Amino acid sequence: MPTPKWCLVTGSSRGIGAAIARKLADDGFAIVLHARSNRQACEELAAELGSRGTPTRILMFDVSDRETAAGILQADMAEHGAYYGIVCNAGITRDTPFPAMEGNQWDAVLRTDLDSFYNVLSPCIMPMIQNRKGGRIITISSISGVVGNRGQVNYSAAKAGIIGATKALALELAKRNITVNCIAPGIIETDMTSNLPLDELRKMVPLRRLGTADDIAAAASFLMSDGAAYITRQVINVNGGMA
Ligand code: NDP
């Protein structure tokens, strides 16, 4: 049996990240699960994937904590080698109309959703390059980062920043055969959206349904595959036709 390619999926304890981890496992990748605090959910998912024959391990750290993230990622790679694929998925919202937005709401979203691009990828890129086997980086933006969304000035800023960072990194890594692409989901039913008026929001979707985590996982699966080798620096909108 060939050695499996390892993919790190940040924020894979639940929601979109868990669906991506499951799908990539189905595709034959070995999976590094990750979360901030929900270790039990990661352990349950690791057991599920393991029972289907997927090698897994779990990392726990806050993606907004640069030093801790670097330390844990470097220790993991020192023991197990570079990742072939990385999905930067972990994220949060702190929604409020801009005039009422507190500094801590701005900071929390920018640090978690945008700084995590640097905090997670920076320690991983040189090992990936030195591995000389190419690679895949997938970032998760949002329709809010593409078109902007009221009540989400902080989140729209962070998610638009992810798109710019993704496109720039794609240029830097193209000659290394490492593709860097972004998925911009629309409204996906997860814990993140559970407090939103989903029946109202559904009416705004041309396809007349909310997205599922599996809809996003399908796009991630394709971008991670060998078949996507000639796709880099792109934003794939998965939003039911909203934009
Ligand atoms: P969930 O709230 O369901 O899950 C969030 C995941 O991210 C959890 O695994 C959580 O870990 C982890 N996480 C959150 N903050 C941190 C942190 N500081 N450090 C490490 N891990 C963290 O979110 P979704 O699955 O809905 O969203 C996943 C991604 O998709 C996010 O980037 C989000 O912005 C984006 N997105 C979501 C949309 C939606 O409609 N749901 C639409 C567009 C984009 P733990 O369990 O330990 O808290």
- pLDDT of 107-151, one tens digit each? 999 999 999 999 999 999 999 999 999 999 999 999 999 999 999
CA-closest candidate to residue 80, choices 3, 16, 135: 3
- pLDDT of 3 reads 85
Q: What sign does the dihedral 221-222-228-232 (CA atoms) show?
A: negative
Residue 166 — pLDDT band, cuts 50, 70, 90? very high
For 120, the 3-state DSSP assignment is helix
- Using most ligand atoms within 8 A of CB, pick from 58, 68, 89 the residue to mutate for ligand 1: 89
Give the whole-number percent of the chain exceeding pLDDT 90: 99
- Using most ligand atoms within 8 A of CB, pick from 36, 111, 152 the residue to mutate for ligand 1: 36
What DSSP letter does each residue of 96-118 carry, written as one string?
A: --GGG--HHHHHHHIIIIIHHHH
Find the residues whose C-beta lies inside 6 A of ligand 1: 11-17, 35-38, 62-64, 89-92, 112, 140, 142, 185, 187-188, 190-193
- CB 38, CB 115: distance < 8 Å: no
- pLDDT of 2 reads 77
Instruction: For residue range 35-61, list pLDDT tens digits in order.
Output: 999 999 999 999 999 999 999 999 999
